[in-house]
Amino acid sequence: MTIPTLAVPDAARRTKAKKATGVAAFGTFIEYYDFSVYGYVAATLAIVFFPGDDPVIGLLNTLLVFGSAFIVRPLGAVFFGRLGDRKGRRTSLIASITCMGIAATLTGLLPGYAQIGVLAPILLVLLRMLQGFSTGGEIGGAAAYIHEWAAPNRRSLFVSLIPSVAQLGKGLAAGLAALAAAMMPAADLAAWGWRIPFLLALPLGILCLVMRLKVEDSPEFQAINKTTEGTSKAPFKEVLTKYPKALAKVTSISLVQNLGTYIGTVFVAVYFSEVLGFTKGESSTIVLLAVLFAALLIPMAGQLGSRIGSKKVLLWSYVAYVAITIPSFAMMNQGSFVLALLGLGMGIIPYALCQAGTYGAMLEFYPTRVRHTGVAFGHSVGAVIGGGAGPYLATWLIDLTGNTFVPAFILVGAGALGLLVVGLTVRANSDPSSHLYR
């Protein structure tokens, strides 16, 4: 099927593409701020919602709630993917940011265990799952939207803005957590201070919603509506029946990427404070500086992907994970703030390459008609395993074995898995007119 080209002047198309990219990226920034806040205040939430004598049990329970968001991400991917592939990327993005804003705001208003007992952690789980449902649609929608606006030779760079601004969202979350931990007594932080980052989601969400209401849909989606075949009537079924191998590869790539994300930039905040003995303020500061470094490196890796291809960027990222991760954790374990910062910064290099390579590559496994669903579902299933189980597994194994290098071993294993999958199975598509890989 040939997608007709819209009759849009080049200058006008470039202007619209920049505006659309900015709006989609800003929404992802907010989504990841909202989603990541929980991880950065997990130690405080354990006190508020899971009080008890054993702090490790409280933290594990809090991380289980963190992981519950990932269980429903595939459901969100199917729901928002269908919406995006049938009604448009813009419609899906408006719906997902609304859903996330409501969930984060209500979390900030939620009474703790001391006020309403066991109902508090139950409601916390439900709201966290609503956040996960929303995130399941945001990634596929925002990435497909930007990909379909950008010129082919700029797609890797433009799409890399999605994981880059996600770092800024996490950076804002980490920064507010660090500020609160530094300025508030622990009692005030547990009583009300933890609510502030969640409640900030309300004005940010409203601003993003207004911006998304003012942009038009991607030209590729508009064009497919003008073909005789039109949009897919059942995009999820089509992904499962026509693109099962592509789905398996996207899921595997996403698994590695999410292990790097949630162990390397979210779990490490807990790792520094609860395992290595840094203060909560020091831990949040280290992570904040690291994710800001990542936000700078990822577009550079995206530009590299525009020149050499996303597959090569992915392969280099996996090699770097295998080679760099253990030395970086050895530096973190020295008990020095400076060495911990340098160690995590070194570990950000493979992470940045992997982020840019993943987002550049996974969009190229599907044609326009099922791209939102295929990317969203594959990425979400990988996130369930890598992001949902990864931090919990790392915490449990550290407590079981007493070995503080457990997270490093997990990341090295993820890099080896990525090398096998991408190096041995990802091939150029015989008809690259609408997608590059098979």
pLDDT at 390: 83
Residue 397 maps to a domain: yes
Residue 430 maps to a domain: no
pLDDT at 53: 65
Residue 433 maps to a domain: no
pLDDT at 12: 77
Please count the structural domains in the chain.
1
Residue 404 maps to a domain: yes
Residue 395 maps to a domain: yes
State the residue range of the domain holding 166. Answer: 10-425
With a threshold of 0.85, does the pTM exceed it? Answer: yes
Distances (CA, A) of 224 to 148, 149, 246: 12, 14, 21
Low-confidence spans in the chain with pLDDT less than 70:
1-9, 53-57, 59, 66, 228
CA atoms 400, 401, 403, 406: torsion sign: negative
- In contact, 280 and 43? CB cutoff 8 Å: yes
Residue 1 maps to a domain: no
- In contact, 405 and 329? CB cutoff 8 Å: yes
Instruction: Name which of 407, 157, 172, 387 is nearest 291 in CA terms.
Output: 172
223: exposed, middle or buried (Cβ count in 10 Å: 0-12, 13-18, 19+): middle
Residue 406 amino acid letter: V
Residue 4 maps to a domain: no
- In contact, 250 and 365? CB cutoff 8 Å: yes
Q: How far apart are CA 258 and CA 240, in angstroms?
A: 22
Q: How far apart are CA 218 and CA 388, in angstroms?
A: 31
Structure tokens at 198: 């969640």
pLDDT at 162: 92
Residue 437 maps to a domain: no
Q: Find the CATH number of the domain harbouring 78.
A: 1.20.1250.20
How crowded is the C-beta side of 39, counted as CA atoms within 13 Å? 37
Q: How far apart are CA 209 and CA 224, in angstroms?
A: 25
Q: How far apart are CA 434 and CA 438, in angstroms?
A: 12
